Amino acid sequence: MTTTEYALNLALVGLVVLQIRGITVTKAALLFPVVMTTWIATSLLKSIPTAGNDLWLELFGMLVGATLGALAALATSVTRTGGNAVAKAGAVAAFLWVAGIGARVSFSLWVGHGGAATIRQFSLVHHITGGPAWGTAFILMALAEVVTRTGVIYLKTVRSGAVIERGGLLRRFVTA
């Protein structure tokens, strides 16, 4: 895992920590994590390996990410306060979000510290071409997690009847 990937994962954990306190849902609050993750993903992904069962591994990573993102968003309360909505992540949402990030970081650390032979053998048996497929799967997992979580929070906000203001990143945090 590169320094950029570690920074992305740390930033994603930070987003949930901030949401435990509660944030006003604005366009900037919704778009920032998606734009940040997409930008980093596109800078890391030069191609998407599709040989052997690589595509299945990558689709599985996306499915896991989308599932974690949707469940985390469903466990995030969105309440209308005046004309605006406030999103507040609970313990379950934080756990799911950190579990996804923790799984990616743990896997990377394990591979780098003794697990590479096991992954190599698993990859051979299951016709996965190697490291780039695993890296792509985890990057797509993170992207699917962020996009799905954001989409569900958007839908919950719209359903609450709140107005999603343009907003800014610095004024979006609720002061309690």
The answer to the question of residue 55 being in a domain is yes
The answer to the question of residue 175 being in a domain is no
Tell me what pLDDT residue 145 has: 93
Torsion angle of C-alpha atoms 98, 70, 150, 40, degrees rounded to 10: 50
- The answer to whether the beta carbons of residues 95 and 34 sit under 8 Å apart is no
The model's pLDDT over 55-112, given as tens digits with 9 standing for 90+, comes to: 999 999 999 999 999 999 999 999 998 889 999 988 899 889 888 888 888 888 898 8
With a cut of 60, say whether residue 175 has pLDDT above it. no
The answer to the question of residue 171 being in a domain is no
Range of the domain at 31: 3-160
Tell me what pLDDT residue 73 has: 94
- The answer to whether the beta carbons of residues 12 and 94 sit under 8 Å apart is no
The answer to the question of residue 167 being in a domain is no
Number of domains the chain contains: 1
DSSP state of 121: H
The model's pLDDT over 127-160, given as tens digits with 9 standing for 90+, comes to: 999 788 888 999 999 999 999 999 999 999 999 9
The answer to the question of residue 169 being in a domain is no
List of residues 6+ apart from 10 with CB closer than 8 A? none
The answer to the question of residue 176 being in a domain is no
Nearest to 79 by CA among 26, 16, 150, 25: 25
Confidence category of residue 172, pLDDT binned at 50, 70, 90: very low
DSSP 106-147: HHHHHIIIIIHHHHHHHHHHTT---HHHHHHHHHHHHHHHHH
Tell me what pLDDT residue 137 has: 92
| Structure tokens given for 108 | 């990377």
The model's pLDDT over 19-65, given as tens digits with 9 standing for 90+, comes to: 788 888 999 889 988 998 899 888 888 888 888 889 999 999 999 99
| Residue 37 to residue 147: CA distance in whole angstroms | 9
| Residue 99 to residue 106: CA distance in whole angstroms | 10
Tell me what pLDDT residue 168 has: 60
The answer to the question of residue 93 being in a domain is yes
Nearest to 72 by CA among 53, 91, 59: 91
Which residue in the block uniquely carries the two structure tokens 């780098």? 112
The answer to the question of residue 59 being in a domain is yes
